Structure 1
Amino acid sequence: MTSRVEHTDVGAYALGLLDEDDRLAFEAHLLGCNSCRYELHELSGVANVLNGIGPVEDPYPPSGDRQDDVVGLLRRKKAADRRARRGTFLIGMAAAVTLVAGGLTIGTQLDAGDAAPLAQGQGGRMGTNMGPAEQFYAEGRPMQGEGVDGVTGGLVVESKGWGTHAALKLAGVKGPLQCELVSVAKSGERRVMTGWSVPPAGYGVPGSPDPLYMHGGSATQLKDIDHFEVVTSGGKRLLTIPA
């Protein structure tokens, strides 16, 4: 993928299958691709559950005279190389389909013996019930924003080598709306960090009490950011969060 960035590599990136050059290239691609960021957000819970699942068994195990068969050895080598990049992803998606078909919830199937319990989040819910954006928000130190028309929310941020990573919590908003989280640099430069649609029912309002949690990224370094904004596609500012 080093020659060009593929949208289809979202799954490989989520499962940590890309080599260093491809990973850096794809992270740069994410900054300007809303669709890939949205797909990565959707796959993050699956990736957490499937982490550690090994590749499929060799479809050409050595036996009898085939053990020394050059053709058989080459075939096994080719299959192994193919699996190194794509096998785990294909198995992971199949496993995810099985979990969903069985009525299980992605993100709650982790074996308690495999890792220590995650930090308890908002409303007393354990981290295993949270999506990745909500968990990052719950474990961080939120910067509270100033909203309009009953909109409330906050932001948890961290500095990265490529820029700034953020998790947004948004409530008190009704749709239908198209919204974006924007970083505003001290120089005045504006960068879209992520975008989403608000359904008619809204988020964090009567009848739809759950707030919205979203991930976002900006190429602007955190030290150079003055504030963040949640704005509608029409340019209305719903929430302002100082950096």
Structure 2
Amino acid sequence: MTPEVEHTDVGAYALGLLEESDRRAFSAHLAGCPSCTAELAELSGMASLLAGVDPVEDERDDGHLGEAPRAEVIDLLRRKKDADRRARKGAFVIGAAAAVALVAGGIGVGAAVFGDGGTAPIAIHSTRSPAEDAYRQGTPIAGTGLPGISGGVVLEKKGWGTHAALELKGVKGPLECELVAVSKTGERRTVTGWAVPEKGYGVPGSPRALYVHGGTALSTGDIDHFEVSTTSGKTLLTVKI
């Protein structure tokens, strides 16, 4: 038995299509070939595939199929096995992509803001939120806040307007706030809104800053300043552009 026959006749062996001498040789080969043994296990129960294959009568009297049907059956088995392998590979790729999306944590929200053909997208890291990434990787413009309150804004020019990321520290809740872009003509556009819990952000006992981001149709050149305001109308931070 040649090396090629040893590794390619698993299907024929499983269906009893090998000559007796080849069958014995292949049985001996299985004892030392884990890959063929595994492949043989995969082909268990494959007889159902032959339901639509009509045997062709030949002059042999050993009850086996002739050479032409044997080739057709083995080809069918190999094609099915290849298809199964491709399907398993595809499932792995999809699973890996899903795992990356889960690890990214909220990347879908950022994608709607970043990927639009504007300026180069800001890289996203799985260890931080998209808003914090956008702020940390940009050039912050510091704002002026009420006593104890500080923060800044990072801007990104987009084809549809302006993407803004905010850092805010020194606020306690409960509060409801919003980031507003104010144009040079006085037009006000809400960029995003959020709630501040009682423990607050960037304060003793809760030192982590708040990071949020959003977009406005106003172009960067048309914006005069940003305001962080409460829903009651109190301005906490002003960022002049």
What pairs up with 1:1-243 in 2 under 5 angstroms?
Answer: 64=76, 88=94, 92-93=97-98, 129-243=127-241
Structure 2: distance between partners of 1:164 and 1:96: 25
Aligned residues: 146
Q: Identify the residue that residue 54 of structure 2 maps to in structure 1.
A: none
* Matching residue's letter, 2:213: H
TM-score, normalised relative to structure 2: 0.51
Structure 2: distance between partners of 1:199 and 1:174: 7
Residues 178 and 194 in structure 2, CA contact (< 8 A), matched pair in contact too: yes
SS at match of 2:134: helix
Residue 96 of structure 1 and its aligned partner are, at CA, apart by 6.2
**Residue deviations 1:50-105 (CA, integer Å, cap 9, x gap):** xxxxxxxxxxxxx827969xxxx9xxxxx9xxx9xxx95x87556766x7xxxxx9
Structure 1: distance between partners of 2:203 and 2:154: 22
Query: Residues 221 and 208 (structure 1 numbering): CA distance in 2 closer, same or farther, change over 3 Å?
Result: same
Gaps of 5+ in 1: 1-62, 74-78, 100-104, 108-126
* Matching residue's letter, 1:219: A
Residue 136 of structure 1 and its aligned partner are, at CA, apart by 2.0
Residue 196 of structure 1 and its aligned partner are, at CA, apart by 0.8
Cα RMSD (Å): 3.6
Residue 242 of structure 1 and its aligned partner are, at CA, apart by 0.6
Structure 1: distance between partners of 2:127 and 2:174: 27
Residue 160 of structure 1 and its aligned partner are, at CA, apart by 0.6
Structure 2: distance between partners of 1:186 and 1:238: 20
Residue 225 of structure 1 and its aligned partner are, at CA, apart by 0.5
Query: Residues 96 and 222 (structure 1 numbering): CA distance in 2 closer, same or farther, change over 3 Å?
Result: closer
**Residue deviations 1:122-175 (CA, integer Å, cap 9, x gap):** xxxxx6633222222122211111111421100010111000011100000001
Query: Residues 135 and 96 (structure 1 numbering): CA distance in 2 closer, same or farther, change over 3 Å?
Result: closer
TM-score, normalised relative to structure 1: 0.51
Work out the percentage of aligned pairs sharing the same amino acid. 54
Give 4+ residue runs of structure 1 displaced > 3 Å after superposition. Answer: 65-68, 90-97
Q: Identify the residue that residue 117 of structure 1 maps to in structure 2.
A: none
Gaps of 5+ in 2: 1-74, 107-124
